[in-house]
Homo-oligomer: A and B are copies of this chain.
Amino acid sequence: MKLKGRSFISTQDFGAGDLEALIQRARALKHDPPRSMPLAGKAVALVFFNPSLRTRTTMELAVRALGGTTVTLNVGTDSWTLEHRDGAVMDGGKTEHVKDAARVLSRTVDAIGVRAFPAMERLEDDLADGVLEAFKRHSEVPILNLESSLYHPFQAMADLMTIIERRGPAAGAKVALTWAPHPKALPTAVPNSFLLAATRFGCDVMLARPPEFPLPDRIMEMAERNARESKGSLRVVASQAKALEGAQFVYAKSWGGLLYYGKWDEEKKARAEHADWIIDEGKMRGTADAFFLHCLPVRRNVEVSDGVLDGRRSAVYDEAENRLHVQMAVLEALL
């Protein structure tokens, strides 16, 4: 792997072989914690525009387990609000430009992790992944995507690691990724990234979602190309039952309607109509005794029933734990 100095924005940035090697390394680290300190004397800034439990915890622990130190900055509360548009005349509410924040941090840390959810106001803006791209454009050190408008690559790596742990090879795994109900319109970063990673690793993916809830065209095109190249497959269906039938892994996740951007009241109605897309024990019986996956946080008894989350085939805590290990593997390779 020649990944030193690279950023990690999306799993698409790296070769399939590199991704697999990183997951193998993560599995090794899980059973045999690092004894050398490859990040000794190094620092990673963790810049959060949004809340986080898993990411915050596992990034801080991953860096320190490798001998490094972290500085965690919460944008807009303990740190300044940030403008990301180049050339902006900054006479409004934003107090600092990402250009300056990224350059300043580059002088004192060895990598910058960034969590920046979409604003969910204008679709074009969110598809441009503006904040993360601004950090990447202006930073002189690697940028680690801790979930952007479009991607959540560490989560996808942890998801695939969990599939491999449970099944052995990911290639050929029958995976259902299904839309789920939720009281709010959520970003598409997690389903986007899971779809990209699963197709990259050769899974046979069924994506089930109501017609009102497509994923971005660009993501779908990348995922289809991935599937062709990996000899996996990708099929989109409007029937959840069809996707679950024979599935070995069920990944439930809610996301907002790209067709409704900015019209969240209309979207809310569409969401309400599909409250029956909740994953429960009954539906799981239609699968091939599938393992259940979810990135967390999850709305219990809205997206998924307690019975499934707490059941013997739930792998959601493995996924969360594996965040720690994949992040260590990636930090080791990039820094």
Q: Interface on chain A toward B: helix, strand, loop, or mixed SS?
A: mixed
Report which A residues bind B (CB closer than 8 A): 33, 41, 43, 45, 48, 51-54, 56-58, 60-61, 64, 69, 71-74, 76-80, 83, 86-92, 95-97, 99-101, 103-105, 107-109, 183, 296-302, 306, 309-310, 316-317, 320-321, 324
Find the B residue at minimum CB distance from A47: B53
Minimal beta-carbon separation of A165 from chain B (angstroms)? 13
B41, B43, B96: the one contacting A53 at CB < 8 Å is B96
- Contacts A43-B61, A71-B61 given; does A54 touch B87 at CB 8 Å: no
Contacts of A76 in B (CB 8 A): 51
Find the B residue at minimum CB distance from A48: B78
- A sample of 16 inter-chain contacts (CB < 8 A) reads A33-B41, A56-B78, A56-B79, A57-B73, A57-B104, A61-B69, A74-B78, A87-B306, A89-B300, A90-B299, A96-B296, A96-B298, A99-B310, A100-B297, A107-B320, A107-B324
Verify B90–A302 contact, CB threshold 8 A.
Answer: yes
B61, B101, B296: the one contacting A100 at CB < 8 Å is B296
The docked-state distance in angstroms from the alpha carbon of A157 to that of B2 is 41
The docked-state distance in angstroms from the alpha carbon of A69 to that of B43 is 14
Verify A297–B80 contact, CB threshold 8 A.
Answer: yes
Contacts of A103 in B (CB 8 A): 317
Please give 19 more A-B residue pairs, beta carbons under 8 A apart, in addition to A57-B71, A92-B183, A95-B297.
A45-B57, A51-B76, A51-B79, A52-B79, A52-B80, A53-B79, A54-B104, A57-B104, A57-B109, A61-B71, A87-B306, A89-B301, A90-B299, A90-B301, A95-B299, A96-B297, A97-B297, A104-B296, A107-B317
Contacts of A104 in B (CB 8 A): 53-54, 57, 296, 317, 320-321
- Contacts A61-B43, A301-B87 given; does A101 touch B71 at CB 8 Å: no
